[in-house]
Amino acid sequence: MSLLKLLHNEKVVRLLEKLDVSLKDAIEPKGDLSFVVPSVVMMLELILKQHNVSDIADVILKKREKELISEDIHQLKMKISELNYKIDMANVDITEIDAFTKGSYESKTNAEKHIIDTISKELIENKKLNYGNI
């Protein structure tokens, strides 16, 4: 329905006249429209919605859904960055442990290396330790 057809509708004209009177009453004493604006907007929206002209409510709902989805995406990105930081820290720890174990093993004498290898073989490879079964 076009705006011209709405203006020819008697009910719409009455509601607009009522709105006009309310606005005049609100302006005359104080000149402050801040308390009237929300009700005016709601009345206009109601008039337009009754005649299937307005989709403002749908637009507002979709905008709110978009905001909520954006917030969820932001929170997920923050969690991903935290997990990436934890992974990086774990990789640094692994690198440090590898460097320590390689350095300490390589600095051993041949006799010490032989003892370490023999103990490792007996305890881990021959499954004489519980954690070797893992």
Task: Please check whether residue 60 lies inside any domain of the structure.
Answer: no
112 — pLDDT class (breaks 50, 70, 90)? confident
Task: Verify that 82 and 131 share a domain, yes or no.
Answer: yes
Task: Give the end of a domain, one of 54, 69, 92.
Answer: 54
Q: Can you give the residue range of the structural domain that contains 99?
A: 78-134
pLDDT of residue 30: 59
Please state the domain count of the chain. Answer: 2
Tokens standing for residue 8: 């020819």
What sign results for the dihedral spanned by CA atoms 101, 107, 113, 115?
negative
Please list, residue by residue across 37-70, b when 16 or more beta carbons sit within 10 angstroms of its beta carbon and e when fewer do: eeeeeeeeeebbeeeeeeeeeeeeeeeeeeeeee
pLDDT of residue 26: 65
134 — pLDDT class (breaks 50, 70, 90)? very low
Task: Verify that 40 and 92 share a domain, yes or no.
Answer: no
- Residue 69 reports pLDDT greater than 80: yes
Tokens standing for residue 104: 């300490």
Task: Verify that 82 and 47 share a domain, yes or no.
Answer: no
Task: Verify that 93 and 45 share a domain, yes or no.
Answer: no
